[in-house]
Amino acid sequence: MPTGVHLRDARQQLFDAAERVLLRDGPGALTSRAVTTEADCAKGVLHRHFDDFDDFLADLVRDRIARMDAQAAALRESAGTGMVVGNLTGALTDLFGSVAVAIVSLVIFRDELRARLRQATPTGIPLLTEAATMIASYLAAERDLGRIAADADIDTLAPTLLGSGHLAFADRTGAPPEAEAVRKIVTTVMAGVVQEPHP
């Protein structure tokens, strides 16, 4: 019987393998066989730890959402430091420069996975919904500090930034956008709201 530590290692090995398949081949290629082959383990290892493949995928998405907690905390702590546009540019680049775009594609691609995730995220697209909350929390902190306008519509700005960023990074076949392209998106969305001088 594997210990808790061994189980965690096996789960992490499978999650990492699934990410590699997603990034390399896209959501259509993500099967239990592809994951276990990539992880260099027997197919039974996945089924020993998860009820079925959609259970595995739901845990993968939940794990990646949980990893956003550290990014959200760091972004909130950056309020009042640096430049608002720079902080947002960095946050969007970190978010979409990771496996997030592929995870979002996976959630959209698999109906059963989306249904399972609805238990925790009843509206919106899992991962993007949590990312919008992260951005909105940061914007609220900057508004409280007077670095963005007091009447800034955070509930519109956060998903607009997120949607624009997602579109910029969504083409998995091309190179990701340059930092300056992401900065231009953020600058455009935040025009008239940022109260600090331009760098």
Per-residue pLDDT tens digits for 83-106:
999 999 999 999 987 788 888 888
Fold classified for 53-189:
Tetracycline Repressor; domain 2 (1.10.357)
pLDDT per residue over 118-135, tens digit each? 887 777 788 888 999 999
Provide the CB-side half-sphere exposure for 161 (13 A, CA): 32
Given a cut of 70, whether residue 198 has pLDDT beyond it is no
- The listed CATH number (3.40.50, 1.10.10, 3.30.200, 3.30.160) that belongs to domain 1-49: 1.10.10
CA pair distance 154, 190, nearest whole angstrom:
10
Domain boundaries of the chain, sorted by first residue: 1-49, 53-189
What is the Cα 78 distance to its own chain's centre?
A: 19
Show Cβ contacts of residue 172 under 8 Å, excluding neighbours closer than 6 positions.
23, 26, 101, 102, 105
* Residues shown for the chain: 199
**Lookup: tokens for 40:** 């260099």
**Lookup: tokens for 154:** 């955070």
